[in-house]
Amino acid sequence: MLVAPDSFKGTFRAAEVAGAVGRGLERAGLMPPDLCPVADGGEGTMEALMLALGGDCVTADVHDPLGRPHRAQFGLVEDGGTAVVETAAASGLHLVAEEERDPVAASTRGTGELICAAVDAGAEVVLLGVGGSATTDGGAGALEAIEEHGGLRGAQVVVLCDVRTPFERAPAVFGPQKGADPATVAQLEERSAALAATWPRDPRGVPMTGAAGGLSGALWAVHGAALEPGASWILDALDFDARMRAARAVVTGEGKLDEQTLEGKLVGEIGTRTRQAGVPLHAIVGTDRLDPFGKRIVDLQRVQEATNLAEMESAGETLGRALADGEA
């Protein structure tokens, strides 16, 4: 069995979910499963890659989305030549209380500082996961921090994107969840358009340039960053396909299974791969809001809901017994 869940956003890390499900499968009498916590460029990206690739965590002094001093970590792998940075570590929505959310003032400056700290540590490639940000600044704060640092000094940035939204759509799509009303969305759109018009390349209309409120587009336009679909890139980095083909079945999971699952999210990407390989796929999720037709698209065999680690372990045991009895 291959256990490959995403994090349950804001509640449980992917590694915690994988461990609980794995314990349940073993309790049902199955062999110890292959635990493969995964991510899509958002929350948990650093942990998933660090668990697979090894490496060291480094702490840096940066600024949070509202400019307050903050300490954040990044990872160094491959003998320090590659850094893994999460936007959420410095510019995350979880760093700002709900009553403090300010989509106009919130800045990606801290993420830029974290990228620069990784370059100072010797990284030649910076893998940047961009999910979970509090920002819709078009990446302006990060660009300022990098410019003050003297640039990237030859380092290449690879942005692992969890959405395909283009730059100009970022305010309308992501602004409301970060506290923007319609008037503020219009203000953010005007600001983003003004920024894009000054850059060497125009990110408008380019898929994935709207991730993290336009941060991905800013780095692409000004620093030539490569934009990659996070789910696909990370699954490849974790050697998912080979591990999947060696497994009797795959168990995945996420906090909420819904229509967005089918739009490039991690569970949908896993479903595409298991379907093509003919490997059965099951899911343990916090909330199941995907209709039967959607489940057929992903080719999900069995879906169970679980809201805490004990329930995840129990769900794993139930699935394990069904597999042992030939019912799944």
Q: For strand 281-285 and strand 300-305, is the pairing parallel, antiparallel, or unpaired?
A: parallel
- Cα 12 vs. chain centroid, distance in angstroms? 14
CA distance 21 to 317: 8
40 backbone dihedrals φ, ψ, rounded to 5°: -120, 15
CB 206 within 8 A of CB 220: yes
Residues 255, 175: contact at Cβ < 8 Å? no
On whether the CB atoms of residues 298 and 268 are closer than 8 A, the answer is: yes
CA distance 284 to 300: 11
Angle at 281 between CA 242 and CA 236, to 5 degrees: 30
pTM (global) more than 0.95: no
* pLDDT string in tens for the chain (328-residue length): 999 999 998 789 999 999 999 999 999 999 999 999 999 988 889 999 998 888 999 999 999 999 999 999 999 998 999 999 999 999 999 999 989 999 999 999 999 999 999 999 999 999 999 988 999 999 999 999 999 999 999 999 999 998 899 999 999 999 998 999 999 999 999 999 999 999 999 999 999 999 999 999 999 999 999 999 999 999 999 999 999 999 999 999 999 998 878 776 789 899 999 999 999 999 999 999 999 999 998 889 999 999 999 999 999 999 999 998 876 6
